[in-house]
Amino acid sequence: MADKIKDSKIIFVVGGPGSGKGTQCEKVVAKYGYTHLSSGDLLRAEVSSGSERGKQLQAIMQKGELVPLDTVLDMIKDAMIAKADVSKGYLIDGYPREVKQGEEFEKKIGKPCLLLYVDAKGETMVKRLMKRGETSGRSDDNEETIKKRLDLYYKATEPVIAFYESRGIVRKVDSELPVDEVFSQVSKAIDALK
């Protein structure tokens, strides 16, 4: 089964909370027929399914601990295999958070052909998230928490970007622009893939 996904197009999508990467992923799915996989969504879905694995994950997350890398990779891989027959490629959203995760992903699943770096200024992301907090009721959308999340995100992401930049597969997209202009940058990057 795993052979099916080995030769697929895999795109890592990296961007801070509020960078607009979710919106861009939706647009890619609509235009290119890719499958959008977010490790956060997969974890939440697994927990709400009430499965054995879901219960274990819930216990880990309730303690505020990080879910083991192997577990996350298994979930991504299962989701990829499930879509292998219909998918034109995969958007792996919010992953890898660190270089080691990227290396493990390549060992277990496959190499990315592109890393889309959806980048907005820190203050833009704060503004967008504050706005989302007004409507979403997400408790983690208040200013202090947001700034903390952004700090963590930058610390974690810089080495990842540098690692893939050395391979020449990073395409930085300026998401300060209107959504459609951002998407035309994204499309250019995807159209350039062989």
Question: 130-177: per-residue pLDDT in tens?
Answer: 888 788 776 666 788 788 888 888 888 899 999 999 999 999 999 999
Residue 139 annotated in ligand binding: no
Residue 97 annotated in ligand binding: yes
Instruction: Name the helix (H) or strand (E) containing 119.
Output: strand 114-119
Residue 18 annotated in ligand binding: yes
The whole-angstrom separation of Cα 77 and Cα 149 is 27
Residue 78 lies in a domain: yes
Residue 19 annotated in ligand binding: yes
pLDDT of residue 62: 84
Residue 149 annotated in ligand binding: yes
Residue 58 annotated in ligand binding: no
pLDDT of residue 165: 96
Residue 94 annotated in ligand binding: yes
Residue 56's domain is classified under what CATH number? 3.40.50.300
Residue 66 annotated in ligand binding: yes
Total tally of structural domains belonging to the chain: 1
Residue 164 lies in a domain: yes
Residue 51 annotated in ligand binding: no
Q: Which spans in 114-142 are helix H?
A: 122-136
Residue 102 annotated in ligand binding: no
Exposed (0-12), middle (13-18) or buried (19+): which is 120, by Cβ within 10 Å? buried
Residue 46 annotated in ligand binding: no
Residue 121 lies in a domain: yes
Domain that holds residue 163: 2-189
Determine which of 54-58, 71-75, 91-95, 128-132 has the lowest per-residue pLDDT on average. Answer: 128-132
pLDDT of residue 40: 84
Question: 60-74: per-residue pLDDT in tens?
Answer: 888 878 788 889 999
Residue 158 lies in a domain: yes
Residue 57 lies in a domain: yes
Residue 194 lies in a domain: no
Q: CB count, 10 Å around CB of 141?
A: 20
Q: How many CA atoms lie within 13 A of 189 on its CB side?
A: 26
pLDDT reading at 25 higher than 70: yes
What pTM was computed for the model? 0.87
